[in-house]
Amino acid sequence: MLNPEHICLIGTGKLSRHLAKKLRLYKGKPIYIWGRNSDKAAQIAGEFELIHLEDLMQIPMNCVAIFCVSDHAIETLANKLKGIADFMVHLSGTQTIHVLTKYTLNAAVMWPVQSFSFQSHMEWKRIPLVLEVSNTDSKEWLMELVSALGGMPVFLDEESRKKLHLAAVVSNNFLNHLMVLTETWCIENKLDFQLLRPLISQSIANLNDQSPTELQTGPASRNDQTIVQAHLDMLQAHAQLKEVYSLMSSQISENNRI
């Protein structure tokens, strides 16, 4: 009867570091870490009192292997741990569970819907963990892990997870790209980007009790073509921002005419 009692983190990226920091111990035992970049693995192990594995094959028996690696690296590493790790978990929003089930019966996906940076503190209890499992044993073991992390479990099938991942790209990466364009514009025009912070925070806070559709304001939503055109004229030398401005304004105006 299997019953994974150790955790081994595979990989040394931001997410691995956040898991190491949050877990430290699992079922009273120190957790393990292995990484292709051995120095980085040793550094995380040192910082959070983990056991550093120089060689992946030193992984203990009765182990949950958590793949905190790039999507394309998961399958190769899962293959190496075939017959060794009791239970394999990957953390990808886009990869199928089958990159693991090819090599083990007991597999799960646990995708945290969050943007992990090196600096910030993670409030795990607020983070949705999107889950998928290969069988009932995996479900039981995964829920132990979820409970150790304190995240918010949400079971979704692969198709829905991929769709939610797309939404996450839009609302995280594209939102951040708008901030890149805005910051660049501010720097080029000697304006303090920080002046916009209360506005940005309030725009997000307003989403707590209202739908973004109800919240839309501004020149494009009023179809104020004089201001839209004046802005496009100001953007002559700012190709990226001009393209985004033009596309978004026309979509906002279009939605407001409906």
Nearer to a copy of itself, 61 or 180 (CB): 180
Nearer to a copy of itself, 95 or 104 (CB): 95
Asked if 64 contacts 6 with a C-beta cutoff of 8 angstroms, the reply is yes
Smallest separation (angstroms) from a copy of itself to the CB of 233? 10
DSSP per residue over 167-201, as a string?
Answer: HHIIIIIIHHHHHHHHHHHHHHTT--GGGGHHHHH
Nearer to a copy of itself, 1 or 239 (CB): 239
Smallest separation (angstroms) from a copy of itself to the CB of 106? 26
Smallest separation (angstroms) from a copy of itself to the CB of 131? 12
Token pair belonging to 11: 């990989």
Smallest separation (angstroms) from a copy of itself to the CB of 26? 24
Tokens 């056991």 sit on residue: 51
Which residue, 65, 4, 3, is CA-closest to 33? 65
Nearer to a copy of itself, 58 or 251 (CB): 251
Return d(Cα 86, Cα 165) in angstroms, integer.
28
DSSP-derived secondary structure letter, 129: E
